[in-house]
Structure 1
Amino acid sequence: MKKRLLLPALLLGTLQVIANQDSVTVDLGEVIIKENRIEIPFNKVSRNISIISRKDIETTPARSLQEVLSFTPGVDVRQRGVTGVQGDIGIRGGGFEQTLMLINGIKLTDPQTGHHIMNIPVPLQAIQRVEVMKGPGSRIFGQNAYAGAVNIVTMLPEERSLNLQSYAGDFGMKGISMVSSLPVDLPFGKYKQTLSISHDASNGHWYNSDYKVTNVFYEAGMDLNEKNEIRAMAGYTDRTFGANGFYTDRFPDQWESIQTFLASISHTYDHNDIYIQTRAYWRQNTDEFRLRRNEPEFFTNNHVSDVLALEVNGRYQSNFGTSGFGVEGRSEKISSTNLGDRERAFLGVFAEHRIEFWSDFDFRAGVYSNYYDEYGWRHFPGAELGYQLTDRSRFYTNYGASYRIPSFNDLYYEDPSNVSNPNLLPEEAQSFEVGYKYFNKSVRFELVYFNRYTKNLIDWSRAPSDVSPNPNRWTPSNISEVTFQGIETGIQYALNLGGKNFKIREASFSYNFIDANLQQIPGIESRNTLTALRHQVIGGFQAEFFSNFETNIKARYIERMALDPYFLLDIRLDYNRLKTFGLFAEASNVTNANYIEAGFVQMPGRWFRAGINLNLFK
């Protein structure tokens, strides 16, 4: 039976980037997906989820989370420049406004614009793993998780440690990071804490593309007793960069400076069959944008947005299954020289239940109800059904409704290149998914078909012009109806092929196809929808040689709906990665491809960087 299942899985399975520890095997048996309420082992989840492990982060040829995510099947990363100074994340054809980012379940909602959701204050070296949920997440996370969600998970180690890393490369690129863990034994328990700091800078890969990015992240936690835990975190990121081509091609001297602060505190009660977590968080984003870098008096926008939220989530385990419940209240405010002083408030209520029956089946259903004063109550149901064919293979299907309220930029932003539309309606979608997965300690496969029917899709477009650059202004509008559908398929295999001096540890391949029944009006330019992914191919392998060397080679073929396709090859080489002293070198765009991911930013050709890594323990 297992051999008969293995052959079609090899042909049709979907790649998931999935090691949960630093080994050559692929074993997710111990990974628990935490969704704020119900927790489910990875191998019993009835949706398509990719897990990026700590090992994946360390060995991927990347200097930022955005670059790491670009190797995840079904995820569309559109960077403006290198090393993640700004990047938009789309999932399954969705735009950057339709993806929710989280840190340990804390939502990084930005009411001004989705361009800021990747202002992550956590250094890359401090991230333990990343969970990428593809498909509607409104029932689980609320209205911002329209097409998917990305949850960054950090850890509070029990032992002392110190990691230092430094690198330099092309374009005057340089960076340094520190990740430290310093638990303290107190009379009433162990106080666990981590402090992480990073700084990256570059002269830029083309005119007016220099940047400086600084991140500071502190996290602490304590078990008060066997039932109660307190946890807190605070983060700050400062990003200042030349923004040539970021938003328009009419002003090559654009410049932007962004500071983001995040703070949260939570209390968790976990005893027997009851789990309740209460938490509060605050996120502030300050944004200064100039059309002419050295002439602020020509045109400058200053925005300060604040998000303040309180959440209570819980679950109850009974003989009838697991029940989840939650309530959230969130206030969003902005004070802006362009958008004006705006504010809005949301109330959300969650309820769901999961049961297992007939030994091999499980069913989960729930609803998220959202109240917003302008639109009243809206309800978003969802359900999942799974069948465990064997202990290593699973069929599943799910349905979900999702919803997104326009950002303040969508509604009110105007400048010489853009005009607002205060009459925009919220986006709404109905999504369906069916999939099959096979998994064991060395192999992972998945095949998925998805369909998302969208009403009132928001996109920015502008009329054609014979003048270059185009003088017409961009404006957002609701597109009446659009259906996105696609297939995700791939394989990851821990091979362990070779001899003593050279061994291929792992090989992977994935293919993703997205189709949208959206017709482009001749000459009309689209910022987002008409440039979504159509074909995405990702492949790679990891190898070891002479015991101390590791290499990771990644290749991508990207074809968008209205842009020329391109092929990218990236390579990383590590020496003594897990030892006290290690070296690494990376090369991006080895084939020297000519391409644009977002806006009008010409991405760099072949570029290199190299550095050192220190792992110190007491």
Structure 2
Amino acid sequence: MKIFSTAILFISFIIGAKAHQDNDSTSVDLGEVIIMENRIGIPFNKISRNISVISRKEIETTPARSIQEVLSFTPGVDVRQRGVSGVQANIGIRGGSFEQTLMLLNGIKLSDPQTGHHMMNIPVPLQSIQRIEVLKGPGSRIFGQNAYAGAINIITTLPETKSLQIQGFGGDFGMRGGHIISSLPIGNYRQTLSVSHDASDGHQYNSDFKVTNIFYESGIEFNDKHEFNTMIGFTDREFGANGFYTDAFPDQWESVQTLLSSISHTFDHNNLYIQTRAYWRRNIDEFRLRRNEPEFFTNNHISDVVALEINSAYTSDWGTTGFGVEGRQESIDSNNLGQRSRDFLGVFAEHRIELGEKTDIRAGLYSNYYSEYGWRHFPGAEIGFQLNNSNRLYGNFGISYRIPSYTELYYEDASNTSTPNLSPEEATNYEFGWKLSKSRLKAEVVFFHRYTQNLIDYTRLPSDQSPNPNRWTPGNVSEVTFNGIETAIKYAVNIGGTNAKLQEVSLSYNYINAGLVQQEGVQSRFALNSLRNQFIAGIQAEFLQRAEFTLKSRYIERIALDPYFLLDARIDYNRLKTFGLFVEVSNITNTDYIEAGFVQMPGRWVKAGFSLNLF
């Protein structure tokens, strides 16, 4: 609690100092960002829940080579990587597991019926992303059952001008890679094509990887009412998986290919907005316990998700009403999990109304039919009160729900067994918060509560042998209560002159208390490893109006695991010019740590590269 007290004192000091500062016209106004959430578009500063928006500049200047690494600097988000540069990572929000987080790409759900380990198989190069929206807390009322603890929406854009960007880099552990991103609009037809490749020889035995992404997006406006968009992406990942899932087989190996395609039509006229879209996602996964002996043990899985959605909103004198329907089929063909399929039907409606100039209320209901579990209903409501132009109070309530993955239900190997009769997870969520938003200062304090029933976790009996010969078994934990507090502040300092200027400082602290009572003498794979304390700090500076310096630090403590501290830095030279250079240093303190599984993360490592911005 000393850390929490220090964070509150720091926030109070900055807020007090801000009262005597002038406005900075160069700072970004997040109030101009519209959070769509698939139906009702709401300005960021009118949202009555905790949402973090990662801007394009932050993505470019953060010391990171993947979406996963960028998210690791987001308050309240727990990124647990197996390897580096986005090979595979689990994303948790507010103490939730990777199965309880929904990933989206331009509003399209990337859930995988096989396992949440595949949710970050996103076929978009990091440099093609315009911004990332992180919704913390229950998202089932908005997105359906997978958004149990939160949702992350990755947003790309279609430029209206021609451009060509080339980047290449290299570094320690035989790291090399690069990307090419081109935009070639033709009249009203806009299109982008992105290709990226990252590879490494690995930082330890059997940790090499190759990751290739290809992404094409297009859109055409027929008139001011109708717009068609298409999107197709492919990612190919091959990696040594030493320690990814068990420490009993150091020669594990995996190869994953993911294809995503979609087509959508948008009608937007006067007070009516309707978007219809269809998408298909295929994931092909080959896993071997012994890399060079596929005959010893190999799993082959092919999963498909086909969906059709209609999202709409209508604005009247009584407020804005959102409504729609979606249908989805998930199927898998696996030599381990079998041939299985399940169907979903979702119907949703919500309404947002403003009461006077200070109060707004938003409430809705999402009802899902599952072929295996029948109808389930997710109500939710939000209320916001604008104290003045800068201060906002808000509260919300929501029901969360998640059905088990096919891996939890049926997967078995030498280290894991299955439980076909698992019950779905359910949770009741509350959130109360305060936001401060001024031209140079953004701050937020949030308290949340999540009461979970039937939490799914893997457990096993301990053993004196190493590695442990007992198998992990999924099961339902009866009741778990999560209480947490989140604090975050970002201040555009702008101190200094043309030779050196401190531009921005940021600080966040998050604390989670998980009231989980685990059976004595039983080991937990996920539930007892959730986030407890998270402290993130960062600064941005500029030198000679050409060089940008970013320093990020993290202190992470998880339940029943040793805490660790990480320090990362990046220098960009001529980032927005025709020719630029950059250098990144990760884990400057050479910390010895593990984030997920049994994977020992690398010590200090350096990457450097160049960029060309043409046209």
TM-score using structure 2 length: 0.96
In the alignment, the residues of structure 2 paired with residue 486 and residue 8 of structure 1 have an alpha-carbon distance, to the nearest angstrom, of: 19
Structure 1 position 520, deviation (Å)? 3.5
> Which residue does the alignment assign to 2:55?
53
Match of 2:383 among 382, 385, 409: 385
> Which residue does the alignment assign to 1:330?
328
Matches within 5 A, 1:411-450: 411-450=409-448
- Deviation string, structure 1 residues 427-449 (Cα, Å, up to 9, x no partner): 00110000000011211000000
Match of 2:143 among 111, 131, 141: 141
In the alignment, the residues of structure 2 paired with residue 87 and residue 523 of structure 1 have an alpha-carbon distance, to the nearest angstrom, of: 28
In the alignment, the residues of structure 2 paired with residue 261 and residue 336 of structure 1 have an alpha-carbon distance, to the nearest angstrom, of: 18
Q: Is the 8 A contact 1:10 1:491 kept in 2?
A: no
Give, as a single letter, the amino acid of the residue that structure 2 aligns with 1:219.
E
Matches within 5 A, 1:195-344: 195-344=193-342
Structure 1 position 126, deviation (Å)? 0.2
SS at match of 2:84: coil
- Deviation string, structure 1 residues 297-316 (Cα, Å, up to 9, x no partner): 00000000000000001011
**CA 366–206 in structure 1, closer or farther in 2 if over 3 Å, else same:** same
- Deviation string, structure 1 residues 156-204 (Cα, Å, up to 9, x no partner): 000000111000000000011011100002xxxx100000000000000
Q: Is the 8 A contact 1:159 1:183 kept in 2?
A: yes
Structure 1 position 11, deviation (Å)? 5.8
In the alignment, the residues of structure 1 paired with residue 431 and residue 13 of structure 2 have an alpha-carbon distance, to the nearest angstrom, of: 20
Structure 1 position 24, deviation (Å)? 5.2
Match of 1:109 among 86, 108, 111: 111
> Which residue does the alignment assign to 1:365?
363
**CA 482–12 in structure 1, closer or farther in 2 if over 3 Å, else same:** farther
Match of 1:99 among 81, 98, 101: 101
Give, as a single letter, the amino acid of the residue that structure 2 aligns with 1:532.
S
**CA 9–361 in structure 1, closer or farther in 2 if over 3 Å, else same:** farther
**CA 199–125 in structure 1, closer or farther in 2 if over 3 Å, else same:** same
Give, as a single letter, the amino acid of the residue that structure 1 aligns with 2:248.
R
Structure 1 position 403, deviation (Å)? 0.5
In the alignment, the residues of structure 2 paired with residue 522 and residue 478 of structure 1 have an alpha-carbon distance, to the nearest angstrom, of: 16
Structure 1 position 326, deviation (Å)? 1.1
In the alignment, the residues of structure 1 paired with residue 182 and residue 443 of structure 2 have an alpha-carbon distance, to the nearest angstrom, of: 36
Give, as a single letter, the amino acid of the residue that structure 2 aligns with 1:200.
D
Matches within 5 A, 1:435-514: 435-514=433-512
Q: CA RMSD in A?
A: 1.4
Q: Is the 8 A contact 1:12 1:447 kept in 2?
A: no
- Deviation string, structure 1 residues 78-120 (Cα, Å, up to 9, x no partner): 0001101000100000000000000000000100000000000
Match of 1:132 among 118, 131, 134: 134
Give, as a single letter, the amino acid of the residue that structure 2 aligns with 1:232.
T
Moved more, 499-508 or 38-47: 499-508
> Which residue does the alignment assign to 1:118?
120
In the alignment, the residues of structure 1 paired with residue 319 and residue 478 of structure 2 have an alpha-carbon distance, to the nearest angstrom, of: 40
In the alignment, the residues of structure 1 paired with residue 13 and residue 518 of structure 2 have an alpha-carbon distance, to the nearest angstrom, of: 34
Matches within 5 A, 1:130-209: 130-185=132-187, 190-209=188-207
**CA 430–12 in structure 1, closer or farther in 2 if over 3 Å, else same:** farther
> Which residue does the alignment assign to 2:4?
none
In the alignment, the residues of structure 2 paired with residue 41 and residue 606 of structure 1 have an alpha-carbon distance, to the nearest angstrom, of: 41
> Which residue does the alignment assign to 1:602?
600
> Which residue does the alignment assign to 1:19?
none
In the alignment, the residues of structure 2 paired with residue 342 and residue 168 of structure 1 have an alpha-carbon distance, to the nearest angstrom, of: 43
In the alignment, the residues of structure 2 paired with residue 47 and residue 179 of structure 1 have an alpha-carbon distance, to the nearest angstrom, of: 34
> Which residue does the alignment assign to 1:17?
none
**CA 353–208 in structure 1, closer or farther in 2 if over 3 Å, else same:** same
- Deviation string, structure 1 residues 481-512 (Cα, Å, up to 9, x no partner): 00011000021000001122111000010000
> Which residue does the alignment assign to 2:86?
84
Give, as a single letter, the amino acid of the residue that structure 2 aligns with 1:615.
N
Give, as a single letter, the amino acid of the residue that structure 2 aligns with 1:563.
L
> Which residue does the alignment assign to 1:3?
none
Matches within 5 A, 1:574-589: 574-589=572-587
Structure 1 position 130, deviation (Å)? 0.2
In the alignment, the residues of structure 2 paired with residue 132 and residue 12 of structure 1 have an alpha-carbon distance, to the nearest angstrom, of: 25
In the alignment, the residues of structure 2 paired with residue 12 and residue 236 of structure 1 have an alpha-carbon distance, to the nearest angstrom, of: 45
Give, as a single letter, the amino acid of the residue that structure 2 aligns with 1:279.
R
In the alignment, the residues of structure 1 paired with residue 340 and residue 95 of structure 2 have an alpha-carbon distance, to the nearest angstrom, of: 30
Q: Is the 8 A contact 1:24 1:505 kept in 2?
A: no
Aligned positions, number: 600
Give, as a single letter, the amino acid of the residue that structure 2 aligns with 1:146.
Y
Q: Is the 8 A contact 2:194 2:216 kept in 1?
A: yes
**CA 588–9 in structure 1, closer or farther in 2 if over 3 Å, else same:** closer
- Deviation string, structure 1 residues 268-289 (Cα, Å, up to 9, x no partner): 1110011111000000000000
In the alignment, the residues of structure 2 paired with residue 288 and residue 239 of structure 1 have an alpha-carbon distance, to the nearest angstrom, of: 11
Structure 1 position 524, deviation (Å)? 2.5
Give, as a single letter, the amino acid of the residue that structure 2 aligns with 1:129.
R
Structure 1 position 521, deviation (Å)? 3.7
Q: Is the 8 A contact 1:12 1:489 kept in 2?
A: no
Match of 2:400 among 402, 415, 421: 402
Give, as a single letter, the amino acid of the residue that structure 2 aligns with 1:570.
D
Deviant stretches of 4+, over 4 Å: 6-9
In the alignment, the residues of structure 2 paired with residue 360 and residue 583 of structure 1 have an alpha-carbon distance, to the nearest angstrom, of: 47
Structure 1 position 522, deviation (Å)? 4.2
Structure 1 position 395, deviation (Å)? 0.2
SS at match of 1:603: coil
Higher RCO, Cα 8 Å, sep 6+: 1
Structure 1 position 263, deviation (Å)? 0.2
Structure 1: which 5+ residue stretches go unaligned?
1-5, 14-21
Give, as a single letter, the amino acid of the residue that structure 1 aligns with 2:460.
R
In the alignment, the residues of structure 1 paired with residue 447 and residue 13 of structure 2 have an alpha-carbon distance, to the nearest angstrom, of: 15
Q: Is the 8 A contact 1:554 1:569 kept in 2?
A: yes
Structure 1 position 226, deviation (Å)? 1.1
In the alignment, the residues of structure 1 paired with residue 13 and residue 147 of structure 2 have an alpha-carbon distance, to the nearest angstrom, of: 31
Structure 2: which 5+ residue stretches go unaligned?
1-7, 16-23
> Which residue does the alignment assign to 2:551?
553
In the alignment, the residues of structure 2 paired with residue 7 and residue 45 of structure 1 have an alpha-carbon distance, to the nearest angstrom, of: 26
> Which residue does the alignment assign to 2:563?
565
State the identity %: 70
Q: Is the 8 A contact 2:25 2:439 kept in 1?
A: no
In the alignment, the residues of structure 2 paired with residue 509 and residue 9 of structure 1 have an alpha-carbon distance, to the nearest angstrom, of: 8
Q: Is the 8 A contact 1:367 1:382 kept in 2?
A: yes
Q: Is the 8 A contact 2:259 2:282 kept in 1?
A: yes
Structure 1 position 8, deviation (Å)? 9.8
Note if 1:28 corresponds to 2:30: yes
SS at match of 1:390: coil
SS at match of 1:245: coil
Structure 1 position 454, deviation (Å)? 0.4
Q: Is the 8 A contact 1:12 1:446 kept in 2?
A: no
